[in-house]
Structure 1
Amino acid sequence: MVKNKNPVEYWKPDAARMQASQMYRFMQAAGVNNYTELHQWSIDEPAQFWSQLFSFFNLKYTGDLQPAFRDTNFKEYTWFPDIKLNFAENLLRHNDPDKVALNFVHESGLKKQISYQELGQQTAKLASFIKATLGEGDVLAAFMPHIPETVVSMLATTSLGGIFTSTSCDFGAEGVIDRLSQSKPKVLVAVSGYEYNGKYFDCMDKIKKIADNLPMLEKIIIVDFLNKNPDLDEIDNAILWDDALTQHEGSTLSFKKVRFDSPVYILYSSGTSGKPKCIVHSAGGTLIQHVKELGLHCDLTDNKNIFFFTTCGWMMWNWLTSSLALGATITIYEGSPAYPSMSHFIKIIDREKINIFGTSPKYLKALEDSNEDITSDYSTLETILSTGAPLLNEQYDFIYQKIKKDVQLSSIAGGTDIVSCFVLGNPMLPVNRGEIQCLGLGMNVSCFDDEGKDQLNQEGELVCKQSFPSRPICFLNDETGERIKNAYFSQFPGAWCQGDYISITDRKTVIIHGRSDTTLNPGGVRIGTAEIYRQTEPLHYIDDSLCVGRTKDGDVELILFVMMKDNESLDDNKIKEIKSTIRQKTTPRHVPVEVYQVNGIPYTRSGKKMELPVTRILANKTITNLEAVANPECLKEYEQYQV
């Protein structure tokens, strides 16, 4: 049973804010009275719901919205089979010379603004340069930081009906090759170098190695982001970005319309147990899902500024960039969130007049632990989004007690698999401590027990019982569909199983307990790792923690690893307090058998804890893809704890 029957209500919209929201207007158009009814209508009448989004957001398409889908089975739904659209056209339709589309901020203080009209002009130039090489269904890959040229690369590619894929430039060459050797790009856009935490990182050797291992590449465009004048002589078919665009001054935009379910993005799984899976997403599904989430659930409009810290190797980059479809301003940031100080983002929020700020529990914890002065105006800040891991209860306290009382805190959760969310925020509903506000519109989400039955106020699997437009088209190199079936449909046939361990309360709010594949099973009882982190990480001497299962004598024992704060060390008294805290606030089954101090906790490059590699190490299994780990050097230490 979930212990959150009477949660603290930290925020509730007043009538004026609620009635001014796009969610409220959409609800009125649907002819229902509250969000519960609106969500029920969206899953009872999916054809009406998804079709109505086109007119509500004035999306561009040709053809007939009916039928909205051809109903075969979950993974073979065909959505909007009789329409065509262009992804880039819908992101560039606000062709305004006076409206800022991209507000670029670099850690060094460098700043640049690009209007919607300028963004369209740059897109036209790049599209003209690549169109002889890249057509409908062809792939352009970006090995780039989060800068305007990355957005232009995506828009140019998709304007031609092509497929865009990206990796973060902090990946090693092998990690990039593992991904791009599968997606087979014809064009590569790559940055010659970037700065992070005040240090310059040259990328030219990596680019050469990548190019040498991708024989399908026909063009390589080098972005000299920091004016280092890179030498291109050793890279075949390479040209500088500025030179490529200069060749096509005066180009005009044209848009290749494609089927709703034509591919637009290839995203990648983390790949901790082998080569990353290549997940293909559709143009129409991505567009309609993103405008729903950003426009309704986040209440993003054309007079707002959204700032979400992300890299180009995380799905949040794709999600954030779709804000252009709503005419909003995107503040894109490149660099370290902690440079020159942890409170740097707080200054950006005020200086750039941010309305919606997106972050992660990891950043919020680091900000709180820094004890830096975060006193600020926050007058424009309406909403804080958080994703990447479950928010701790104490992080709700921190935001509402130290940052701003009148702010909507929206924890959101979904995945690369759907390039969107299952559960997220709502400008019409209250924010309760420790809970995600609601189930996403059009997402028939349930919490299943082991027998596949719906349950409330109990822990179980997050499933979606009905198809949705942003479900992936396919995995690359999965001609039979067997891999995608095994990934999502094998546990509960007919329902999408996301792999998250959750509870849905009788208020229809959501609590996430961790990933199912890292759920611990001591004595056959399922325990989500987030349940343990919620107890350990508020302890004043713990900086970070990781809990995994270690098989011994036919059962699973819980092993807790902790990183201590400066000048702290783990001793018997602290171990006793840690175990006592976990026992008192959860159950005796949650108490770890052993607690060990370590110097590092492994994370993905998008800031998510990685329990699986440590679980594999403790089981004497090999980790085959260290490129997925942001800090692989920390893993060696865990080998001493093998049975």
Structure 2
Amino acid sequence: MVEEPGPVAVPEWTPRPEAASRTRIAAFVQWLDARGRGDFADYEALWRWSVTELEEFWQAVADFYDVRFHERATHVLADDTMPGAVWFPGATLNYAEQALRHTGDRTAIVAVSEGGHRQEVTRDELRRRVASLAHWLRTEGVGTGDRVVGYLPNITATVVAFLATAAVGATWSACSQEYSPEGAADRLGQLEPTVLFVADGYRYAGREHDRSAHNDQLRRLLPSVRTTVWVPHIGGAQPPGTAHFDTLTRGGHALETTPVPFGHPLWVLYSSGTTGRPKGIVHGHGGVTLEHLKFLGLHADLDADSRFGWYTSTSWMMWNIQVSGLLLGSTIVLYDGSPGWPDPGALWQLAADERLTFLGTSPAYLIATHKAGTSPGTAYDLKLTGLGSTGSPLPAGTAQWLHETLPATWLAAASGGTDIVSGFAGGVPTLPSRPGEMQARTLGVALEAWDEDGRPVTGQVGELVVTRPMPSMPLYFWHDPGELRYRDAYFATYPGVWRHGDWVTVTDRGSVVVHGRSDATMNRYGVRMGSAEIYEAVERLEEVTDALVVGVEEPDGGYWMPLFVVLAAGHDLTPALAARLRDHIRTQVSPRHVPDDVIAVPALPHTMTGKRLEVPVKRILQGAPPADVANPAAVDDADALARFVRIAADRKACRDGA
């Protein structure tokens, strides 16, 4: 049995007909109609066609966006089994060529960092820098089959290094400098890279963080590296034995890109690495190009007039998506700094200063500004037509507040994963946006919610599955002979069907609600529930800044469901506040899922990209040593995780004493 979803949400934003008619997805439908490819009465009909006629749909995306193939494919999909689908066999192309096809003196990149530092790069200047760096990489013998990696912040140089790597057919991977050298080496070292790019540091929360010592240590941890390229950013001194990035990008070389097969490795992203060595997730040139043209062009409505920024680090998949704004000719706006410094409205100020038309961020930031009483619509001169949110479910209360304070801005919440470096569900600029929901399943994604018997269900909670292949699904995992880890990650539960590990509801309108991770489900009295609804209820209270809830099966057959909260400054966990928290959950979520205990902690652990560590915490509370369930190098606060060992010991002592 599963918990039924709450009452139907009321639309809070509806596109004006004239605005909807000017969207890229509307242009796509008109383009299809002109070629006799279908008569689509609404988005649902378009989506059904896109997941039924996969070959026709993905060829249409390639044609609509004039993807520059050097060799054409013999057909679109040679094998539609999962895993193992073969897309566009025989086709060759290059992601960097697609991203740099837009020329002229329009701005390609704006890079901003704390303290008023700002840099603009035109399309032609970006091409020149990439061309020069790619030429140097070739003189170093770097090409197809090689790996180039970066330990870098979100700055222009990182984009240039990635595009130059892609241009020569090598494979790129990056890690933000918040990671320790050991944490970075856990990821980048798997690839045995040839070239390493390092910056002297990054800016965050009013400080310049010098990473010179970290860079030296990382170089020692990557013995395969032949050449290290030093990127000046905060004014540090160039280390001996390194090449200077500025020197390598000053040449007058013409851009040369190496055509590679559709499924040639473009980059390697990583799983969180909290429960073991991070898995290297490999994506291809062609799959990423098509998926990001679709996701950013049709679903985020970006084009050459857009100014697009997503608050991210280089370790999060949203960095990769942000860079792909270049595929549409958009101006991408990078930010190196804290979204909440010097005040909670810093990101809104960036959006106003840079005249962003689409801003993406995390629910955590939106919740924080909501609680801070910020009113973006009146406090800032915003030009936003779209606002993206991803990383975790966006609470309905915060979504409704956004609709109220930004009534002309379309809210495009999305849910996806590093696994596909895109979204399964997300925004559609021609549909209503309802608080607590994602507007629709994205085109080409055969998403369903399945019940315990593996049957699709509508209007009730089920496992998120994808029943047909997508071109941006991983090519493979790095160092995974026989694809054993890959198959276990997604296909062990339902052979031939992708199981993502999220609880979702697909409504009868085709919208999607994400309830949290299914492997962290709480099962009380036979009723299962994800954590997202509980977090939404709890974090509405101004006294709470962070929360984590788990359901712990205990050795004696008991079931313990504690709620851990981090309280705002000046607040204590009084019996009255604990009672309010429980009552909030009882009345707004479920009387069956009221926590057994409310426990205040000074901090909670997260992955380096901000996700709650529900499963590791649960396993520690069941008695597992932290070293067995989480890698400290992949956790933002290892001490916060270790604190749960003491909580588990105290609870065991109480049970034994009883």
TM-score normalised by the shorter chain: which range applies?
over 0.9
- 1:242 equivalent to 2:249? Answer no
Which range is displaced more, 336-345 or 169-178? 336-345
Aligned equivalent of 2:108: 101
- Take 1:159 and 1:610, find their aligned partners in 2: how far apart are those partners? 37
Letter of the 1:445 counterpart: L
Per-residue CA shift, 1:483-523, capped at 9, x if unaligned? Answer: 11110001111110011111111011011000112112234
- Take 2:7 and 2:574, find their aligned partners in 1: how far apart are those partners? 36
Contact kept? 1:2, 1:503, Cα under 8 Å = no
- 1:395 equivalent to 2:398? Answer yes
- 1:291 equivalent to 2:273? Answer no
Aligned equivalent of 1:640: 646
Letter of the 1:126 counterpart: L
Contact kept? 2:80, 2:468, Cα under 8 Å = no
Per-residue CA shift, 1:337-395, capped at 9, x if unaligned? Answer: 11221111222222211100101111012112223464235452101000011000111
Contact kept? 1:146, 1:334, Cα under 8 Å = yes
Letter of the 1:638 counterpart: F
- Take 2:383 and 2:392, find their aligned partners in 1: how far apart are those partners? 26
In the TM superposition, 1:28-427 aligns within 5 A as: 28-30=30-32, 31=38, 32-71=40-79, 73-96=81-104, 98-131=105-138, 132-230=140-238, 232-233=239-240, 237-246=241-250, 249-372=251-374, 374=376, 375-402=378-405, 404-427=406-429
Aligned equivalent of 1:584: 587
In the TM superposition, 1:611-626 aligns within 5 A as: 611-624=614-627, 625-626=631-632
- Take 1:351 and 1:595, find their aligned partners in 2: how far apart are those partners? 42
- Take 2:275 and 2:352, find their aligned partners in 1: how far apart are those partners? 42
Q: Please state how far the C-alpha of 1:218 moved relative to its aligned partner.
A: 0.9
Aligned equivalent of 2:609: 606
Aligned equivalent of 1:597: 600
Aligned equivalent of 2:27: 25
Letter of the 2:198 counterpart: A
The alignment partner of 1:497 has SS state of strand
The alignment partner of 2:266 has SS state of strand
The alignment partner of 1:16 has SS state of helix
Q: Which runs of 5+ in 2 are unaligned?
A: 33-37, 653-658
Contact kept? 1:522, 1:557, Cα under 8 Å = no
The alignment partner of 2:572 has SS state of coil
Q: How many residues align?
A: 635
Letter of the 1:356 counterpart: F
- Take 2:374 and 2:537, find their aligned partners in 1: how far apart are those partners? 24
Which range is displaced more, 420-429 or 585-594? 585-594
Letter of the 1:109 counterpart: G
Contact kept? 2:291, 2:422, Cα under 8 Å = yes
Letter of the 2:220 counterpart: D
Per-residue CA shift, 1:186-209, capped at 9, x if unaligned? Answer: 100011122211212221211111
Per-residue CA shift, 1:542-563, capped at 9, x if unaligned? Answer: 2221101222222432110011
Per-residue CA shift, 1:156-175, capped at 9, x if unaligned? Answer: 00000110100001100110
Aligned equivalent of 1:562: 565
- Take 1:195 and 1:407, find their aligned partners in 2: how far apart are those partners? 30
Which range is displaced more, 294-303 or 587-596? 587-596
Which range is displaced more, 218-227 or 154-163? 218-227
- 1:456 equivalent to 2:463? Answer no
* Structure 1 residues 490 and 549, CA gap change in structure 2 (3 angstroms): same
Letter of the 1:69 counterpart: L
Letter of the 2:353 counterpart: R
In the TM superposition, 1:499-518 aligns within 5 A as: 499-518=501-520
- Take 1:5 and 1:638, find their aligned partners in 2: how far apart are those partners? 36
Contact kept? 1:523, 1:556, Cα under 8 Å = no
Letter of the 1:242 counterpart: D
Contact kept? 2:272, 2:278, Cα under 8 Å = yes
The alignment partner of 1:11 has SS state of coil
Which range is displaced more, 346-355 or 478-487? 346-355
TM-score normalised by structure 1 residue count: 0.96
- Take 2:559 and 2:141, find their aligned partners in 1: how far apart are those partners? 54
Contact kept? 1:88, 1:158, Cα under 8 Å = yes
TM-score normalised by structure 2 residue count: 0.94
Letter of the 2:397 counterpart: E
The alignment partner of 1:216 has SS state of coil
Aligned equivalent of 1:546: 548
Contact kept? 1:350, 1:376, Cα under 8 Å = no
The alignment partner of 1:63 has SS state of coil
- Take 2:572 and 2:52, find their aligned partners in 1: how far apart are those partners? 56
The alignment partner of 2:474 has SS state of coil
Aligned equivalent of 2:635: 629
Identical amino acids, percent of aligned pairs: 34
Contact kept? 1:520, 1:556, Cα under 8 Å = no
Aligned equivalent of 1:494: 496
- Take 1:437 and 1:187, find their aligned partners in 2: how far apart are those partners? 42
Letter of the 2:89 counterpart: P
Contact kept? 1:522, 1:555, Cα under 8 Å = no
- 1:575 equivalent to 2:572? Answer no
Letter of the 1:114 counterpart: V
Over the residues paired in the alignment, what is the CA RMSD in angstroms? 1.4
- Take 1:463 and 1:72, find their aligned partners in 2: how far apart are those partners? 16
Contact kept? 1:447, 1:503, Cα under 8 Å = yes
Q: Please state how far the C-alpha of 1:34 moved relative to its aligned partner.
A: 1.2
Q: Please state how far the C-alpha of 1:85 moved relative to its aligned partner.
A: 0.1
The alignment partner of 2:625 has SS state of coil
